[in-house]
Amino acid sequence: MDRLTNTVRPYAWGSTTAIPRLIGAEPTGEPQAEMWMGAHPGAPSRTDRGALNEVIDTDPERELGAPAVAKFGPRLPFLLKILAAGAPLSLQVHPDLTQAREGYADEERRGVPVDAPHRTYKDANHKPELICALTPFDGLCGFRRPTETADLLARLDVDSLKPYVDLLLAHPEQDALREVLTAVLTADPARIATTVTETATACERLAKTDTDPHRRSDYAAYAALAHHYPGDPGVIAAMLLNHVQLQPGEALFLGAGVPHAYLDGLGVEIMANSDNVLRAGLTPKHIDVPELLRVVRFEAGDPGVLRPEATPDGEEVYATPIDEFRLSRHIQPEGAAPYDVTTATPQILLCTAGTVHARSAATGELALAAGESAFLPAGEKTEVSGAGTLFRATVVA
């Protein structure tokens, strides 16, 4: 068992206070967006034995277990993060495994440097992900029903939005969503910037005056997007999506092709170990519209808020349809008996409240306070005690 020392990424959208508040540190005044826990080569966690990716490379079967290596190869297949959004992230989707392999091979064949700004596929892996709220958390996830979006846009009474309203009402669901998103992302930049400005003004008005509280909340969220990204066509694209407000403990699973953006809040995020992101707006970065439209799944519906499923031993599991990661939570009350967390797969333990004590038969005891984490090699017999909230990240192998 290894205590992890983790890198905090200072992306511009990060909160300046949320991660310091969690770990009991003074804010530096700089954004602190993501704390990475894992073996991603971009910012691997450090241990007393060296960088975690190097530790795993030395003996993958000992660290990861033979079943995980056989299924995923000699690498940790997930990346765990604490994510602190103080401003909206880019509107984005992730490819499925076939699309990632094909896209990566194509860009390699064409000689596109992996660090080029216009490079889309940084690796050949998919990137499903799960975000679990630690505080109230705002996001956008999946397409809203076209008829509902048409009503939301029509209430704004902005002339340049009316063609989108007509498209949403005139075509079958998938065709309507594809046509409107395509029209928004390929529109004349000056005209769409004017539309965004007029839409923002109308959203600000209806955020105060609309008779429905849910619509007021939606309009306020889109007005905030326009404030952060003035003139960005992604603001209009975002209005096609469900606005979701998670309460602590609730989660969202983002599968391949599902458009999404995180707006505000603190959460635990876990994902397959990949950098593949296709952006649709709310960003100054490269947007590959044809490839984006190939990857997006134009399916509308409920965003599917996840609540954990309790197991007999008191653990709460966030069920997902993929095997690269499994996230669970255990809220340990004061005086509770220790519980066994031994598995045949690698784990990262993350404390988010209180203090928990992980005792390993092989390496002794680690006390983990909020924001602290540890790596458990596969099969290492370990019990956890104390009073606090512990997230466990592992794989299904």
CA nearest neighbour of 325 among 295, 346, 308: 346
Residues tagged active-site? 279
Residue 374 CB coordination number (10 Å): 23
CA distance 12 to 15: 8
Pairing relationship of beta strands 260-272 and 129-133 according to DSSP bridges: antiparallel
93's enclosing H/E stretch is strand 91-93
CA nearest neighbour of 137 among 96, 187, 189, 83: 83
Question: Tokens 């203090």 map to which residue?
Answer: 355
Strand partners, 326: 394
CA distance 92 to 141: 10
The amino acid that residue 182 corresponds to is T
60's enclosing H/E stretch is helix 60-64
CA nearest neighbour of 124 among 97, 90, 151, 142: 97
For 298, phi and psi rounded to 5 degrees?
A: -85, 70
CB distance 200 to 229 below 8 Å: no
Secondary structure (3-state) at 64: helix
Question: Tokens 């996840």 map to which residue?
Answer: 306
Angle subtended at Cα 348 by Cα 342 and Cα 353, rounded to the nearest 5 degrees: 100
CA distance 258 to 128: 10
CA-based end-to-end distance of the chain:
20
